Amino acid sequence: MVCTGNICRSAMAEVVLADAAEKLGLDIEVDSAGISSEEAGNPMDYRAVRTLKEAGYDVPPHTARKIRQSDLQNFDLILAMTDGHYRGVRRLGEPAGELLMYRSFEPGATSLDVPDPWYGDMSDFRETLKTVEAATPEILRYIEDSDR
């Protein structure tokens, strides 16, 4: 998953997707990155951590990083949180796998962008978590179908 700084949206999605994949017994590598290096080296935003923990997720240590050229070759599926992130990944080059919008898997989504909770309060982080969780089952179904 890719967002701006890799401390909120993509980091939260990494935790949620990895948790759901593990519960389904799927052996997949789940990772996240940002298109900006501004937050590189920083931990996940404390509000994101709190939101995930309140929802019952185990939150492993996280260190934000910028997406690398090698990510385009090493991952079968890259999920962008917004159209801007999608374009940012495309500027790096052509992915070997697929580059899709995260919310394209959310049934009934009214927008393809996952709103940035960083400027908001805890309710914005909870809403981001709901958005991420809503798309997760279809993402995993897509991955399972692709592996067949």
Structure tokens at 28: 């997949």
Query: Is there a catalytic annotation at residue 8?
Result: no
Can you spell out the DSSP letters for 52-99? HHHTT---------B--HHHHHH-SEEEESSHHHHHHHHHH---SSEE
Query: Is there a catalytic annotation at residue 3?
Result: yes
> Using an 8 Å Cβ cutoff, are 82 and 99 in contact?
no
Query: Is there a catalytic annotation at residue 31?
Result: no
Residue of 8, 31, 113, 116 marked catalytic? 116
Residue of 3, 8, 47, 65 marked catalytic? 3
Residue of 9, 47, 65, 103 marked catalytic? 9
> Using an 8 Å Cβ cutoff, are 137 and 20 in contact?
yes
**How many C-beta neighbours within 10 Å does residue 116 have?**
16
Q: How far is CA 133 from CA 19, 58, 77, 130, 143, in A?
A: 11, 15, 18, 5, 16
Catalytic residues: 3, 9, 116
